[in-house]
Amino acid sequence: MEWSYRSAEELSAALRAGALSSMELTEEAIARIERDDKAINAICVPDFDRARDAARRADEALARGEDRPLLGIPVTVKESYNIAGLPTTWGMPRFENYVPTEDAVQVARVRAAGAVVLGKTNVPLMLKDWQSFNEIYGTTGNPWDLGRTPGGSSGGSAAALAAGFGALSLGSDLAGSLRVPAHFCGVYAHKPSFGLVAARGMVPPPAPALPSEGDLAVVGPMARTARDLALLLDVMAGPDPLTLGVAFDVALPPARHQRLGDFRVLVLEEHPLLPTGAAVRAAVNRVAEALAADGARVERHSPLLPDPTEAATLYAQLMVSNVAASFPAERYEQLRAAAAALGADDHSRDAAWLRGAVFSHREWIEANNRREQHRHGWRQLFTEFDAVVCPITPTPAFPHDHNPDAREQRIDIDGVAYPYGDQMIWPGVATMPGLPATAIPAGRSPEGLPVGVQLIGPMFEDRTPLRLAELLEQKIGGFEEPRR
């Protein structure tokens, strides 16, 4: 029997029952990677010898009757996480030989839970693309169509899951880096509430792995089922033991409902700044129809929704101010001069980005205060609704485009070209206010490509969108093996 596409939950039950060993499971995963990954290129840093050692120890623990959450389960880890003894490059050639000596806190947690780490998955340069390619490790293809992107920046992780290379993976998300790859590859991912999951050790080289949390970005789980997402989130969730963890334990509230028909859902199909392609609209409507058919309350509009145009601008400003803070001084001064030259009446999106890049501390505080107003608006909305269903990006996976000038890149939405960077609009709906969002498979495009949607829930009520994802999986189906 082949186990590669079984869920982590099924594998755990089989391991506990003695139906197979972790060593058998690990060897099957390694054989599959060695056979299939030459074409896909998802696993950029294999760690097979240590994986075999971990599997051997897991089998010994199982024989002693131990029962840890991920005991004996093969997993993969995004390249951007520090793993002691393996390179962490973030795709930057100058750090090709940078090797940390300590595991990231989340790698340590999955190891403590008994997981078998198969290796690291590919990423774009500095994690700044919805494609996964770099000069060190090359290009990762989408298992559904190798000529298309698997997404980014957790594209290697999504491709690995779709290809059957391990049951779970660790990723991260700032501009959809968990959700976009899940959408493009037909798997599941969960962007946790901001601050729920400690990120120490998910840091670009050669920065030290300090217990500091940057703005907007989170780390989170990827899987092939909704229940597996919840399983891995339970392992990952919790504050850093060096800081808030000294005093606090995590205690997520239960999901608001257990039945699909009890959910109150706001469905958003269009954004005022960007059209939604037909294939994605069809997926959103498929989910909406499934909810309505089971008796859920489904609405298409609400006056409680915080202004999406203002939210998109605020998201861009907060994100670019965070990114630009690490730019070299010379580059930062160039941006400052360009921003100073803008006309006072220039309220274009490009101008907003440029001004955001060089925010003063006062300006950032003002922007953060506006974010808090949006968060309050979302709290009010979630008194009337339990979740929001909306797109992740406007299209399914697009063909590889490695143009080094992002300003020249375009995304094709039903035959019309739009700026490549506009794809960040839908991920930002959840990212800017720090809300949890679960990406789920929701159908196929006319070309047979996966199409996903995101389920956005109330802040720190992550179990609500995860439960909704599980119920929808039962209703409309979920992951399918790629067909090329």
- pLDDT tens over the chain, length 484 residues: 589 999 999 999 999 999 999 999 999 999 999 999 999 999 999 999 999 999 999 999 999 999 999 999 999 999 999 999 999 999 999 999 999 999 999 999 999 999 999 999 999 999 999 999 999 999 999 999 999 999 999 999 999 999 999 999 999 999 999 999 999 999 999 999 999 999 999 999 999 999 987 899 999 999 999 999 999 999 999 999 999 999 999 999 999 999 999 999 999 999 999 999 999 999 999 999 999 999 999 999 999 999 999 999 999 999 999 989 888 899 999 999 999 999 999 988 889 889 999 999 999 999 999 999 999 999 999 999 999 999 999 999 999 999 988 889 999 999 999 999 999 999 999 999 999 999 999 999 999 999 999 999 999 999 999 999 999 999 999 999 998 6
- 334 Cβ partners below 8 Å, 6+ apart? none
Query: Which residue is catalytic, options 177, 193, 321, 445?
Result: 177
DSSP state of 45: E
Per-residue model confidence (pLDDT) at position 195: 97
Query: Which residue is catalytic, options 78, 157, 193, 445?
Result: 78
Q: Which two tokens stand for residue 42?
A: 């998802």
For residue 177, indicate whether it is catalytic: yes
For residue 191, indicate whether it is catalytic: no
Per-residue model confidence (pLDDT) at position 132: 98
Q: Considering just the CA atoms, what is the radius of gyration of the chain in Å?
A: 21
Query: Which residue is catalytic, options 153, 169, 172, 193?
Result: 153
Phi, psi values for residue 162, rounded to 5°: -65, -30
Per-residue model confidence (pLDDT) at position 424: 96
Per-residue model confidence (pLDDT) at position 349: 82
* Encoded amino acid at 126, one letter: M
- Locus of tokens 């969002």: 437
Q: For the chain, first and last CA: distance in Å?
A: 23
Q: Looking at 242-360, list the stretches that DSSP marks H as alpha helix, in order from N- to C-terminal side.
A: 278-293, 308-324, 329-340, 349-357
Per-residue model confidence (pLDDT) at position 484: 67
Q: Which two tokens stand for residue 154?
A: 């957790």
For residue 78, indicate whether it is catalytic: yes
Sign of CA dihedral 412, 145, 157, 450: positive
Q: Which of 104, 103, 99, 101 is nearest to 87 (CA)?
A: 99
The beta-carbon contacts of 403-409 under 8 Å, at least 24 apart in sequence, are none
SS3 assignment for 156-225: HHHHHHHCCCCCEEEEEECCCCCHHHHHHHCCEEEECCCCCECCCCCCCCCCCCCCCCCCCCEEEEEECC
Q: What share of the chain is helix, strand, coil (3-state, %, to 5)?
A: 40, 15, 45
To which H or E segment does residue 474 belong? Answer: helix 463-476
Per-residue model confidence (pLDDT) at position 143: 98
DSSP state of 255: P
d(CA 422, CA 419) in angstroms, rounded, equals 6
Cβ atoms of 51 and 98 within 8 Å: the answer is no
d(CA 380, CA 304) in angstroms, rounded, equals 7
Per-residue model confidence (pLDDT) at position 1: 59
